[in-house]
Amino acid sequence: MKTILLTGGAGFIGSCFIRENDFSKYKIINLDLLTYAGRLENLKDVTNPNYTFIKGDICDRALLNDIFNNNEIDYVINFAAESHVDRSIENPEIFIETNVKGTQALLDTAIKYWKSEPDNKYSREYKKDVKFVQISTDEVYGELGATGLFMETTPMAPNSPYSASKASADMLVKAYHHTFGLPINITRCSNNYGSYQFPEKLIPLMITNALKDMSLPVYGDGLQVRDWLHVSDHCKAILTVLEKGILGEVYNIGGNNEWANINIVKLILKVLGKSEDLINYVKDRPGHDRRYAIDNSKITTELGWCPKYTFEEGIIETIDFYKNDSI
């Protein structure tokens, strides 16, 4: 049985990956610092003996050494990240600390324990079937015009401190593959939605505010366009990349599902039977990218993954979750 060190597993996407994991095939060690968006309640139903939780920081190299020393780690999946653009504008430093330095600490530790000849710093030979999977975002590509799609070959042009920190981490991962031969993959996903997301992001914020008849703040004119992907589809794609991804490759993961923010807000209000009078247009955030959209043809054609959820069924499921959750 293979063991995965999964970082940030108490967060939205990481916890979904754990909940849907096949524990007859993979043990999971979940390393999470439990900052504001990490909730152990997200994993309250995970009671399998092949699951272990460790509270800690991915920047803590001594802790990483202990984990690798005491466990036969086969894979690292790095979900751990500061991920909210607004927060990155207010406090960029923590994004550099976690997203860049934390990723580097994980990379260095993986190299140390995975090399076939650990005492040979020039060796590019690694133990069989090890892999480092970096979970990234389409925001590293910057901004699209009214047409076009992000491809894996699209140059990175991040526009926020958050996306710049993620692009930096991606470049480190690629550099460690090229320079040291570390077996890696990078995934870049579009906007996720679904159950257990912390209500600072668009969809859960609009749902939870609407349920309380509170104002729904919409940036600018609300016509920013994003490609939306159900979190369960995203997690299945990550597993596909872990098991089938060609070493060194980047895979875009998208839902072929573009929506303007304001149309999502209006859809949520319609489903909940609430008035559009709750919408409150507010000053746009600095540097707000206008449109993202993903070309997912590489992962669909080469690895055989495709999204299963329609947005219509996914948003109903998500709304139902927040009706019954105390998040």
* Residue 90 among the catalytic residues: no
What is the residue extent of each domain of the chain? 2-324
Query: Model's pTM, two decimal places?
Result: 0.94
Of 32, 82, 138, 233, which is the active-site residue? 138
* Residue 317 among the catalytic residues: no
For domain 2-324, give the CATH superfamily: NAD(P)-binding Rossmann-like Domain (3.40.50.720)
Backbone angles phi and psi of 322, in degrees to 5: -75, -20
- Reference 268, options 198, 324, 320, 191; nearest CA is 320
Of 57, 74, 82, 139, which is the active-site residue? 139
Of 113, 141, 162, 176, which is the active-site residue? 162
* Residue 251 among the catalytic residues: no
Two structure tokens written together for 71: 């466990």
From first to last of its 327 residues, what are the pLDDT tens digits of the chain?
Answer: 999 999 999 999 999 999 999 999 999 999 999 987 789 999 999 999 999 999 999 999 999 999 999 999 999 999 998 877 778 788 888 889 999 999 999 999 999 999 988 778 778 999 999 999 999 999 999 999 889 999 999 999 999 999 999 999 999 999 999 999 999 999 999 999 999 999 889 999 999 999 999 999 999 999 999 999 999 999 999 999 999 999 999 999 999 999 999 999 999 999 999 999 999 999 988 878 899 999 999 999 999 999 999 999 999 999 999 998 755
